[in-house]
Amino acid sequence: MLKRINQKKTKLLYHQTWAYQKGVPHKGYIHYDNDQGKMYAGIVDATKKINKLKDIHMVIPAGTAIQNARTSSQGDTYTRDGYHLEQTYGRFTAACVWFEKLFGKDVRKISYKPEKITDKQAEIAKVAAHLAVKYPFKISKLKL
């Protein structure tokens, strides 16, 4: 695949996924003993390896942002079915990571928030994303 693209103009980014919500009845979750912490640790381990590949320009630590956000007052509510992101504040959290990584600007200083989320949900998303960019392989506990 890499031979077919212009490598001088194209940069490959890796979007880190997130662990499943606790208690989700998904067949794949058994590989992690139905444990969110183990699944996140596996994602981080894989992401660290991917981050070392010369063809990968940048890792987008969305999974870490979601894990950070789960430590907030919002709790483990970032998926709509246990594994796909919740469609408002869940997706906004991932989008905040993309914004900060791509533009190198502190997302906490951006006033934008989707109309369908609360000010508190926007603050959690932005702080969770900022800390994920700063510490991509470590959960940061939020006091929000």
Q: Which position has the token pair 């890796």?
A: 14
pTM given for the model: 0.93
Give 40-43's long-range contacts (Cβ < 8 A, gap of 24+).
40/67, 40/139, 43/16, 43/17, 43/18, 43/19
Specify the pLDDT at position 74. Answer: 97
Q: How many residues does the chain have?
A: 144
Q: Give the pLDDT score at 87.
A: 97
């919500």: which residue's tokens?
A: 21
Classify domain 36-144 by CATH number: 3.40.50.1110
Q: What is the pLDDT at residue 54?
A: 86
Going from the first residue of the chain to its last (144 residues), give the mean pLDDT of each consecutive group of 10, the final group possibly shorter: 66 95 91 95 97 92 98 97 96 98 97 97 98 98 96
Q: Choose among 126, 11, 129: nearest CA to 62.
A: 129
pLDDT of res. 5: 66
Q: How far is CA 30 from CA 39, 44, 88, in A?
A: 10, 18, 28
* Cα–Cα distance measured from residue 80 to residue 58, given in angstroms and rounded to the nearest whole number: 27
